[in-house]
Amino acid sequence: MLTRFGNWLDERMGWRAVWEAIFLRKVPKVNWFYTLGSATLFVAVNQAVTGILLTIYYVPTPDHAYDSVQYITTQVAGGWLIRGLHHWGASVMVVLVVLHMLRVIIYGAYKYPREVTWMTGVVLLLVVIGFGFTGYLLPWDQKSYWATTVGTRIAGVVPFLGDWILRIMRGGNDLSAVTLARFFGAHVWVLPATLLLLVGTHLFLVIRNGISEIPKREARKQ
């Protein structure tokens, strides 16, 4: 029964070719450093799942943001675990992305034919940093408020465009309800959509071009 259904579905969708390309492809002999990309993807899934669960109770307004976070942590069943996974997962994801990029640089995996794969990875690093920056403000406590004040002020010192960037990020000259709403919107809509597009492109290129082998030391000529 399942075989017949699988054949019927394969004739219409070609899922077996996709399955073979992803899961049955040949992979060169590698080491544990090559698992950093998969580990990052796993943490990204964790961030997506826990983030969706947090938005069920989180209220992105200055009057209720802090109280809603405290409610999640102390009153919601398992809320402390979900928030903890999301909070620490953000830091772990940044570390893993940086380590993954260092592995690519050290092993020369950014060279032909993987230049575009490298470019999408660099943009993914910036998106991950954007997640961390926008998410840091959402608890709306003293630490996040003043850290975001400093962070946005750093962006404001960019030559010529600094004041414009500062007003765009804050929604005005100071941090306000508009700032919180913009950061929340970027955190749950703009950045996730960008992440999905880039991860899909990145994985497609990894599958298409294959995984780079570990560089071999050339024998010295006598």
Per-residue pLDDT reduced to its tens digit, 116-147 = 999 999 999 999 999 999 999 999 999 999 99
CB 199 within 8 A of CB 44: yes
Q: Does some domain include residue 17?
A: no
Q: Region 192-211: what's the mean pLDDT?
A: 95
Give pLDDT, residue 38.
94
Q: Is 3 a domain residue?
A: no
Q: Mean pLDDT over residues 157-173, rounded?
A: 94
Cis amide leading into 113 (omega within 30): yes
Q: Which ranges constitute the DSSP H helices of the chain?
A: 2-13, 15-23, 36-55, 65-74, 79-106, 115-137, 142-155, 162-170, 177-185, 191-209
| Domain harbouring 71, CATH code | 1.20.810.10
pLDDT higher than 80, residue 222: no
What pLDDT does 124 receive?
97
Mean pLDDT, the chain, integer = 93
**Token pair of 172, please?**
């005005």
For residue 1, the model assigns a pLDDT of: 80
Name the packing angle between helices 15-23 and 2-13 (round to 10°).
90
pLDDT value, residue 221: 57
> Considering the domain boundaries, does residue 149 fall inside one?
yes
Q: What is the pLDDT of residue 212?
A: 87
18 in a structural domain: no
Total number of domains in the chain? 1
pLDDT over 90 at 16, yes or no:
no
Report, as an integer, the average pLDDT of 198-211.
94
Give tens-digit pLDDT for 78-104.
Answer: 999 999 999 999 999 999 999 999 999
Average pLDDT over residues 52-64: 97
221 in a structural domain: no
Q: Kindly state whether residue 11 falls inside one of the protein's structural domains.
A: no
Is the model's pLDDT at 46 over the cut of 70?
A: yes
pTM over 0.85: yes
Q: Note whether residue 214 is domain-resident.
A: no
pLDDT-based confidence at residue 42 (cuts at 50, 70, 90): very high
The predicted structure's pLDDT at residue 137: 97
Tell me whether residue 11 is exposed, middle or buried, using C-beta atoms within 10 angstroms of its C-beta: 0 to 12, 13 to 18, 19 or more: exposed
Return the pLDDT at 85.
Answer: 98
CA distance 112 to 67: 52
Give the residue numbers spanning the domain of 115: 30-209
Region 40-49: mean pLDDT is 98
- pLDDT band for 186, please (50, 70, 90 cuts): very high
Query: How far is 21 from 15, CA to CA, in rounded Å?
Result: 10
pLDDT band at 219 (very low <50, low <70, confident <90, very high): low
Other beta carbons within 10 angstroms of residue 194's beta carbon come to 17
Within a domain: residue 12?
no
220, HSE (Cβ side, Cα atoms, 13 Å):
1
Q: What mean pLDDT comes out for the span 147-165?
A: 94
